[in-house]
Amino acid sequence: MACETARINEELRQVLVDLCYLTASWNIDVGGLEIDHMPAFEHAFQILGWDNPHICKDLQCDVPSCKHRWVSNKATANGHRKRCWDHVEEDE
């Protein structure tokens, strides 16, 4: 029973993470998600133990010093490149 509860809790935690990744506001100054005056996100961030804003390196454009959210995950000879709208057309 405890094992099943732990599994369900982890699944629920992942659902919260996914929902935040999909719908929370993006803060380009820090490269992360923020609550943006939404009580549901405030509660989700609290449950997840996240600061506001929550820096998300895995969602940032991979161009050095760019803090925009990536919108294109393109396969290249050197691996996948995650690029924002400002850098999506740049060559390797």
More confident residue, 2 or 60: 60
Rounded CA separation 89/92 (Å): 10
9-61 pLDDT per residue, tens: 999 999 999 999 999 999 999 999 999 888 989 999 999 999 999 999 999 99
**What per-residue confidence (pLDDT) applies to 91?**
60
Q: Does pLDDT of 1 surpass 80?
A: no
If you write DSSP's letter for every residue of the chain in order, what string do you get? -HHHHHHHHHHHHHHHHHHHHHHSEEETTTTEEE-TT-HHHHHHHHHHT--SSEE-GGGB-SSTT--SBP-EEEEETTEEEEE-TTTTT---
Reported as a pLDDT band with limits 50, 70 and 90, residue 79 is confident
Residue extents of the structural domains in the chain: 1-56, 60-92
Q: Which residue has the tokens 């919108």?
A: 71
Q: Does pLDDT of 76 surpass 60?
A: yes
